[in-house]
Amino acid sequence: MNLSRLALPLLLLPITNALADTFERDQALKLPDVLISANRQVEARNDSSAANTVFTREDIERLQPRSVTDLLQRVPGVQVAQTGGRGSLPGIYIRGTQSAQSLVLVDGQRIGNSTSGDSNLQHLNIEQIERVEVLRGSRSVIYGSDAIGGVIQIFTRRGAEQGLQPRMHVGFGSNQTWERSVGLSGGDEKTRFNLGASLDETAGIDRTHESYPSDSDHDAYRNKSISLSLSHALTDDIEVGANLLDNRGKSEFDSPYGRYDFPTKQSYQQQQYSDFDVSSVSSYLDARINEIWKARVEFGHSENREKTFDKLSDERSVFNTYRDSVNWQNDLTLDSRNSLILGGDWYEDRINSSTAFDEDSRWNRAAFIQHRYQADSFSTELGLRRDDNQQFGGQNSWSGTLTLPVNPDNDLLLSYSEGFRAPTFNDLYYPKYSNPDLKPETSKSYELQWRSQLNDSSRIEASIYRTDLKDAIIAADGNPPENVASARINGFEAALKQDLFGWQSNLGVAIIDPRDRDTGHTLARRARRTLSWDLDRQFDRLGLGASWQAVSSSYDDLHNQQPLGGYALLGLRSSWALDREIKLDFKVDNLLDKGYSRALYSHDGSQYGYREEGRAFMFGVTWTPQL
């Protein structure tokens, strides 16, 4: 019997049910048919206006991804462009928007780097993650800046409902890769906790092709991670909790730029490595004020710290960013048809860097309101947000959705949303290469969704959308950035979930046309067509699965002069439960040993692709002793 199907109706009972309030989010994080990120509250996925994809811990263990970016490549409309192997910087493109135009959260806290806008998703250890939610399309009314393309939220591991549950995992694979993790979760009627620690290491691969004689080593990667979650019900109506995720380690990489040593009169490739630390800590208070009013207050702190070294010189660079935040949200159920979300956000960014910025801190405060109306034959959602930023001033964001149930199995959703992105510290204050007069990038998006339960074993969700970007920030030919570009992105995406003769099939396809409106060129590193297909089946204690990913060609530059070839990758996986306590996992990625690149670099006037891993295997043992 599928326990999640029984738990979902119980979780979404009317708010007067005290059971639904106690550890509500902890329960929801383990269920596939609910969503939290869209409105910062637990709701049924089908009731949300946002196009979304959810990966639970059960999905993660079935798919056996090595990183969060491995999961994201399975989401229709999401593309990942890495600059090499494991631990390399990824570009995350949701519906054709760039990385800095999508918001990344860990347990509700922003983790993006406020200097570059990167999220450092590549450093989040998959063993410490309970759930990943991906929202496609602007959610600026709820989250403000950066949520133009969408929102990615990672939730750390959560505790068990009753008793103690220890776990241990050891894995090894190609390129001298080792994965080790331990954890302990537990709980009772009042308190739940989870504590976990991981250590991942790999010798890696040489990410660059043609290079200098000094570039002869593989680019290794090491990641140490800990996570902690704790929740306690003070009463039936009040819950408090805290979450922590800390990832730190070392990443080696080859700089695409060479150096010339005057004493020896020799050129060499910079052999670099960075010590990184990506962390987030948050605490919250959930309170049921009365039968119609529920409030949540969150306090958070996140850090992105990086120190970069050159092995062949004494160069050092430090870029550390810090963010403190407070979020306050009130959910009001006015009557059986009307509900209201209103609240406020505040956060402050600070920098400590070896590079002297003209400004090293700024704050942002905001208020938002969203109304939902549920009639017999339609429903509406209308939202407004006002942001006030210390640097760029005020910004309003609107959104609206009309939902039309065609019949019990088919829904049509028509929506409009606005978004914006505040310039980063690099854009505004980086010495000699910044512009303090920049305005925020803004967007307007239009979308038509179709959601259909085709039959008991098949469901399809499809979207047609258009996004118009204005005042896009571009730094051309080494000049300071300007608000000069505009873009138009048209797209179609669909996700089909089926049970085929006992096999669980998940197919995602996307077609996009992302263009610079001034030049007509395709936006860099955006493939026009992508496809992802996962096929899995459980035979008693044996699990078998396969994945196929296909990506069409693209361009690495704005002028469409540097083509990137398309590629298709096949992977196989299996698992075997020896007994209730021991499970074996085995997988092979890139089974056909396909050579491909997702990004280019320059050397001696020529363009070369960053290497990605060829055929690679991974074998793991997981022990969950029963206490």
Residue-level pLDDT at 6: 42
Read off the pLDDT of each residue in 599-615 and give the average, rounded to a whole number: 81
Is pLDDT of 409 > 80? yes
Residue-level pLDDT at 1: 38
| All residues at 6 or more sequence positions from 262 whose CB lies less than 8 Å from its CB, including other chains | none
Is pLDDT of 4 > 50? no
Tokens for 251, please give them.
């990443």
Burial class (CB in 10 A: 0-12, 13-18, 19+), 125: buried
| Exposure string over 164-196, b if 16+ CB within 10 A, otherwise e | ebebebebebbbebebebbbbbbbeeeebbbbb
- Cα 505–chain centre separation: 23
Q: Do residues 166 and 265 make contact, with C-beta atoms less than 8 angstroms apart?
A: no
Q: Which of 407, 430, 415 is nearest to 140 (CA)?
A: 415
Percent of the chain with pLDDT over 70: 91
Read off the pLDDT of each residue in 39-46 and give the average, rounded to a whole number: 93
d(CA 44, CA 20): 14
φ, ψ for residue 19, nearest 5 deg: -60, -35
Residue-level pLDDT at 414: 98
HSE (side-chain half, CA atoms, 13 Å) at 8: 13
Residue-level pLDDT at 608: 79
Residue-level pLDDT at 217: 67
Q: Name which of 3-17, 34-48, 221-235 the model is least confident about.
A: 3-17
Residue-level pLDDT at 255: 66
Residue-level pLDDT at 564: 93
Concatenating the DSSP letter of every residue in 105-159 gives EETTEE---TTT----GGGS-GGGEEEEEEEES--HHHH-TT-SSEEEEEEE---
Tokens for 170, please give them.
């050891």
Tokens for 50, please give them.
């946002």
Residue-level pLDDT at 567: 96
Burial class (CB in 10 A: 0-12, 13-18, 19+), 469: buried
How many structural domains compose the chain?
1
Residue-level pLDDT at 266: 44
Q: Do residues 241 and 232 make contact, with C-beta atoms less than 8 angstroms apart?
A: yes
Residue-level pLDDT at 26: 83
d(CA 340, CA 334): 7
Read off the pLDDT of each residue in 511-515 and give the average, rounded to a whole number: 96
| All residues at 6 or more sequence positions from 201 whose CB lies less than 8 Å from its CB, including other chains | 176, 177, 178, 220, 221, 222, 223
pLDDT class for 288, splitting at 50, 70, 90?
A: very high
Read off the pLDDT of each residue in 276-287 and give the average, rounded to a whole number: 96
Q: Name which of 357-361, 595-599, 605-609 the model is least confident about.
A: 605-609
pLDDT per residue as tens digits for the range 310-340: 776 777 889 999 999 999 999 999 999 999 9
Q: Is 66 helix (H, G, I), strand (E, B) or coil?
A: coil
The residue written with tokens 């890696």 in the block is: 204
d(CA 451, CA 219): 44
Residue-level pLDDT at 160: 72
Is pLDDT of 431 > 50? yes
Q: For residue 246, give the DSSP letter.
A: E
The residue written with tokens 């935040």 in the block is: 325
Instruction: Name the pTM for this structure.
Output: 0.93
- What does each C-alpha distance from 166 to 182, 190, 580 come to in angstroms? 8, 20, 13
- Cα 155–chain centre separation: 10
Residue-level pLDDT at 83: 82
d(CA 587, CA 616): 8
Read off the pLDDT of each residue in 425-430 and give the average, rounded to a whole number: 90
Q: For residue 435, give the DSSP letter.
A: -
How much of the chain is in helix, strand and coil states, percent to nearest 5? 10, 60, 35
Is pLDDT of 5 > 70? no
Is pLDDT of 17 > 90? no
Q: Which of 368, 464, 457, 352 is nearest to 413 (CA)?
A: 464
Tokens for 316, please give them.
């050092």
Residue-level pLDDT at 206: 84
d(CA 538, CA 576): 10
Q: Do residues 144 and 366 make contact, with C-beta atoms less than 8 angstroms apart?
A: yes
pLDDT class for 10, splitting at 50, 70, 90?
A: very low
Mean pLDDT of the chain: 89
Residue-level pLDDT at 209: 65
Tokens for 569, please give them.
């990758």
For 610, the domain range is 3-623
Strands 150-156 and 102-106: parallel
Which CATH number fits the domain that encloses residue 448? 2.40.170.20
pLDDT per residue as tens digits for the range 240-266: 999 999 999 998 877 655 544 434 344
pLDDT per residue as tens digits for the range 109-132: 999 888 888 888 899 999 999 999
Read off the pLDDT of each residue in 143-162 and give the average, rounded to a whole number: 91
Q: Which of 237, 326, 332, 231 is nearest to 287 (CA)?
A: 237
pLDDT per residue as tens digits for the range 67-108: 999 999 999 999 999 887 788 888 999 999 999 999 999 999
pLDDT class for 137, splitting at 50, 70, 90?
A: very high
Read off the pLDDT of each residue in 491-520 and give the average, rounded to a whole number: 95
Read off the pLDDT of each residue in 423-436 and give the average, rounded to a whole number: 89
